[in-house]
Structure 1
Amino acid sequence: MIFSEKLWDNSQRYEIVLKKIRDMILSGELREEQKFPSETVLAREFGVSRSTLREALRILEDEGLIKRYQGVGTFVSRKPMIESGMEELISITRLIEKQGMKAGTKNISIIRTFPSEKEASIMKMSPEQEIYRVERVRTADNVPVVYCIDRIPVKFVKNEFEFKIESLFDYLQKDLGIYISYAVSDIIPVKAEIAEVYKKLNLKSRNDVVLLLEQLHYDDKDNPIFYSSNYFSPDKIKFCIVRKRK
């Protein structure tokens, strides 16, 4: 990676560096997951100070175009495999399939247990009522993209919990006759070290930030049905929200 031109604008040097690197990434001149030279080398090639370079890199990282790992280096981010709006409530299976990829599941665990105090409070149930806790990694074309934890009260399951299809929404509707109508959601950035999410999603660092989507799902009669915590890989899924001015 050699930059032929020196940047001598004394007033806004970091903006010039920022634009140059951004353009190189967006044009494909810098490839996905390509590693940058060290800050010392990069600053010398651009003809700027390391503090100026760091300001440009900080903004590029905020924009999601690069990833910086302490002790490892700086890399061009991978383009997200999945892009979706958040206005429509659809299953993760449908979200993946809409991108033309095959939805899959691995590392599935189903445990019949009692809810924690937090889980019972969120689902508006007694701590003495049992739940099924379902943990699994969802894949898109065999690549891990989401780590899911779902809690379903045992009272909704007629017999033993037999989850043989990919979509939990489909299972609830087809096998249990429960239609999920809407969900109340919280979006929270968290460190990937929580619940060792970085291992489950094959992330490079436990210090990566993942997007946690916590949702309480309701049926068409406003009954809370199940509570989910979905940890999305930051470099594989991108969400957007359309906001309209009233």
Structure 2
Amino acid sequence: MLVIDRIKEMSASGEWPPGTRLPSEFELAKMFGVSRATLREALRVLEEEGAVVRRHGIGTFIAERSLVQAGIEQLFSVTEWIERAGRRPGTIGFSIGEEEACKEDQEQFGLNGPESLYLIHRIRTADDDPVVYCEDRVPKSVLPEGLDGFDGSIFNHLEAAGHAIAYARTVIKPIAEHPEVFPALDVKEGQALLLLEQMHFDASDIPVLLSANYFRTDTFHFHVLRRRPKE
């Protein structure tokens, strides 16, 4: 489509660099000699591709970061999501600690009394951009050999320990502020994060990983396929 190609060319050439607010739909339609309907369809395609970001009531902008489009119904690790978007995953701000499981943790993991948990904090990057803040909790009994050799992907480490992730129970929350996470991800004022709180289970239905992942909404766009129930 001519409009799509022209907008991509103007972005690539530097005429419209990342972050540029595009002219109004009326001005763009006139500029490219197309109808408003044709222009809107082009912008919709560009948004799906992650080339532009549309902010309701503000306008349409050339995307500052390539987007990671992900189906929320599919369970991928953060590493896999980033790789599937054609970007290079990485990890910074990595730390591992231990803490006693609180009563809520004991209930969620089904622990029979006090037990220590591994507490893992990481900032996941895509092409060196900080895009996800991860907090993971794993009972020490799930990883009796510890976290030696941990390469940044908790899914891979659990699989190597005989606890390959099979499914997860997920709660999704919008986050407007967080004193630690927002600065860590370089989130600008007025932006928000999307928090996915997930309890992961292995093939034996054992809860093995409790995670809280904070996603940058200007980088990750989640979608879900919904169907009408059969009568």
TM-score, normalised relative to structure 1: 0.68
Amino acid at match of 2:71: G
Indicate the residue corresponding to 2:186 in structure 1: 202
- Pick one of 72, 82, 99 that aligns with 1:113: 99
> What is the root-mean-square deviation in Å for CA atoms of aligned residues?
3.1
* 1-structure distance, mates of 2:113, 2:179: 22
Superposed CA deviations along residues 191-215 of structure 1, whole A, max 9, x for unmatched, are: 2x3252111111112x532100010
Q: Does 1:239 align with 2:222?
A: yes
* 1-structure distance, mates of 2:66, 2:127: 13
TM-score, normalised relative to structure 2: 0.72
Indicate the residue corresponding to 1:178 in structure 2: 163
Superposed CA deviations along residues 168-220 of structure 1, whole A, max 9, x for unmatched, are: 1111112x1111111010111112x3252111111112x53210001000011
Indicate the residue corresponding to 2:38 in structure 1: none
Matched pairs, number: 193
Q: Does 1:65 align with 2:71?
A: no
Superposed CA deviations along residues 36-65 of structure 1, whole A, max 9, x for unmatched, are: 9xxxxx9xxxxxxxxxxxxxxxxxxxxx61
Superposed CA deviations along residues 1-37 of structure 1, whole A, max 9, x for unmatched, are: xxxxxxxxxxxxxxxxxxxxxx99x95676542369x
Contact 1:96–1:140, Cα closer than 8 Å, also in 2: yes
Secondary structure of the structure 2 residue equivalent to 1:185: strand
Indicate the residue corresponding to 2:44 in structure 1: none
Q: 1:126 to 1:74 in 2, by over 3 A?
A: farther
Q: Percent identity?
A: 31
5+ residue gaps in structure 1? 1-22, 37-41, 43-63
Amino acid at match of 1:231: Y
Superposed CA deviations along residues 91-148 of structure 1, whole A, max 9, x for unmatched, are: 1111111112111110011111113343333323356211001010011111111100
Amino acid at match of 2:223: C
Q: 1:244 to 1:75 in 2, by over 3 A?
A: closer
Contact 1:137–1:144, Cα closer than 8 Å, also in 2: yes
- Pick one of 87, 90, 95 that aligns with 2:73: 87
Q: 1:136 to 1:163 in 2, by over 3 A?
A: farther
Secondary structure of the structure 2 residue equivalent to 1:194: coil
* 1-structure distance, mates of 2:118, 2:142: 10
Amino acid at match of 2:55: I
* 1-structure distance, mates of 2:113, 2:195: 24
Q: Which has the greater radius of gyration?
A: 1
Contact 2:21–2:62, Cα closer than 8 Å, also in 1: no
Q: 1:127 to 1:233 in 2, by over 3 A?
A: farther
Indicate the residue corresponding to 2:141 in structure 1: 155
| TM-superposed deviation, 1:75 | 8.3
Indicate the residue corresponding to 1:138 in structure 2: 124
Contact 1:80–1:238, Cα closer than 8 Å, also in 2: no
Alignment of structure 1 residues 207-222 onto 2, 5 Å = 207-222=190-205
Q: 1:166 to 1:35 in 2, by over 3 A?
A: same
